[in-house]
Amino acid sequence: MSPEGKSWIQSRTGQANALAEFSSFEPPWQYHHPIRPTSQIPTIPLKMPKQTVVLNALQQYKQNVLSLAFPVVEVSAFEKTIAEAYNFEGPGNSIQLCSQACVLAFLALTSLMVPQTSDFMESLLASESYSTSARILLPLMLKEASIEKLQTLVMLSIHDVFTGNLQEACFTNALATRITFFMGANRCNGSGNGNPMQNRAVYPAPYLHARNLFWLVYILDKELCIRTGHPPSVNDDCCDLDLPEEYMKQFYEGLKDIQVPSQVHFPFDLRLAMIKSKAHSQLYSANAARKESSEILQDIRVLDQELEIWRRSLPHCLRPTMNFKENQHVRHVIDMRIVILQLAYYSCMSYIHEASCKFQLSPEGELLVTEGVNSSLTLAVEASRSLLLYYRLMQPLLENQSFWAMLYYPVSALMTILKGIILRPERQQSHDDLEFLEKGNYWKNLGDLHSDIPEGVQDHLQRLDNFVTDMSRLGKIVITETHHTQE
């Protein structure tokens, strides 16, 4: 999506203004929310919802698996935050305002992900309203660090990712990153040795909760880095990345026999987030751009091996297959943790191997397809093909609330498929891959189920359709011209 990438596509297809719907500054999986009129922006003092609304939301959160995937609040401590937010007897102060921001951010997140109504649009609008109100108080986050401020920023970051607002997610998560550092949550203890989860009697609950928040910040940071192309906010070298005690057991607990998990497990495997972090640093960073192609290919091989070691460490019944075939039987239970894990695996595989093309252009702009590049490109396209087949199978099960968070997977895979077609149009597989671009509508459910979705979202869905249609057109042009040349 970069200007250089589009110029390369133009040189290979002869088509000007190719893929003009989006740019590297506005990737297809990012949604820019309409700017609110000044008259609709809340002012301080904020009009808070009824306290019973918050307490009901907290009760639902406690009973939902969301509290284990996203441990954004510690329930007993958050009850005190709620009480402070609704203490209107004395004069308002910054502590009360921070508590109100935390409560509003919590409602923004839970209204979206654990809605108290079956009306999707009503929940979405309520979530946006709470989010806007919480952001009015963001300047207060720039003063001293506190657990309430960290919770607020983490919840707003998650909300931004799940509403496609990746640019704001980068801002809020960067602030959250600094607060985790100020609080020392990036370290296991003052000396950087040991694991706080191993001794709950020594480490107080607030610190353990802050450590959970650090892991959420870490996961979000690595996802945003890959999805936006921006540098990470979290430097792995400055953090203790030892997994929490019995983390693997907690993450995969109950997945084999469809039991409800009972321990914090985060959105997906923390080890995969670490591999993604290494992939960006070694293959896509400014330092990586200065490497020789042989170094890049060596890094790809090492990362590929590390990813395979991770894959083989999973229970056999939950392990992603290296290649997912059409009409293949899914051998795992239908659990969102595993669905996301499968998609993340294929996406990571493609992300690693696609880097082989990035540094292989000759001065004339022609791709120097060495054996290593050819092998990596094949693996990147195969992973994207598997992702699309698996996503298509699971699409009816994906909830609308996760639409924007999941959109990255099919769209990025389609872009990799197109790259494979352009680089090797003479292959029979390119004809088959063209069908992914011709038939793929991976966001149709949202428009079909909700005719009253906001106009801005409808426009974005139409742009996505146009974008995929343009990719299909470019693929056909390259294949047709190649056949004419061969004849």
Residue with tokens 């921070």: 98
3-state secondary structure of 343: helix
Task: Name the strand (E) or helix (H) holding 124.
Answer: helix 120-136
In the numeric block, which tokens belong to residue 286?
A: 């400014």
List beta partners, residue 23: 26
Q: What is d(CA 454, CA 468) in angstroms, rounded to the nearest whole number?
A: 22
Phi, psi dihedrals of residue 361, rounded to the nearest 5°? -90, 135
> Which amino acid is residue 253, in one-letter code?
E
Q: What is the CA radius of gyration of the chain?
A: 23
For the chain, 487 residues long, give each residue's pLDDT as a single digit of tens.
677 777 878 888 888 777 877 876 788 899 877 655 555 667 777 889 999 999 999 999 999 988 989 999 999 999 999 999 999 876 668 889 999 999 999 999 999 988 777 777 788 889 999 999 999 999 888 888 899 999 999 999 999 999 999 999 999 999 999 999 999 999 876 433 334 433 344 446 678 899 999 999 999 999 999 999 999 999 999 999 998 877 887 777 656 555 556 678 888 899 999 999 999 999 999 999 899 888 999 999 999 999 999 999 988 888 888 888 887 777 666 678 888 999 999 999 999 999 987 655 544 445 555 656 778 989 999 999 999 999 988 887 777 778 889 999 999 999 999 999 988 888 888 888 999 998 767 776 555 545 567 778 888 888 888 899 999 999 999 998 887 776 5
pLDDT at 445: 59
pLDDT at 130: 95
Q: What is d(CA 221, CA 227) in angstroms, rounded to the nearest whole number?
A: 10
* Nearest residue to 382 via CA among 436, 339, 329: 436
Q: What is d(CA 180, CA 151) in angstroms, rounded to the nearest whole number?
A: 10
How many C-alpha atoms does 16 have within 13 Å on its Cβ side?
0
pLDDT tens for each residue of 96-131: 999 999 999 999 999 998 877 777 778 888 999 999
Task: Kindly report the pTM of this predicted structure.
Answer: 0.91
Q: What is the distance, to the nearest Å, from the Cα of residue 197 to the centroid of all Cα atoms in its chain?
A: 26
pLDDT at 131: 94
Q: What is d(CA 442, CA 395) in angstroms, rounded to the nearest whole number?
A: 8
* Nearest residue to 261 via CA among 336, 362, 193, 182: 336
In the numeric block, which tokens belong to residue 216?
A: 């959420």
How many C-alpha atoms does 144 have within 13 Å on its Cβ side?
3
Residues 422, 463: contact at Cβ < 8 Å?
no
DSSP class of residue 424 equals: -
Q: What is d(CA 414, CA 412) in angstroms, rounded to the nearest whole number?
A: 5
Residues 19, 1: contact at Cβ < 8 Å?
yes
Q: What is d(CA 124, CA 287) in angstroms, rounded to the nearest whole number?
A: 41
List beta partners, residue 26: 23
Domain boundaries, the chain: 42-245
pLDDT tens for each residue of 290-336: 998 889 999 999 999 999 999 999 888 888 888 888 877 776 666 78
3-state secondary structure of 23: strand
pLDDT tens for each residue of 453-473: 777 888 888 888 889 999 999
3-state secondary structure of 382: helix
Residues 107, 156: contact at Cβ < 8 Å?
no
Residues 333, 326: contact at Cβ < 8 Å?
no
pLDDT at 197: 39
pLDDT at 261: 61
pLDDT tens for each residue of 224-239: 999 999 999 999 999 9
Helices (H), 144-194: 147-162, 166-183
Q: What is d(CA 474, CA 9) in angstroms, rounded to the nearest whole number?
A: 9
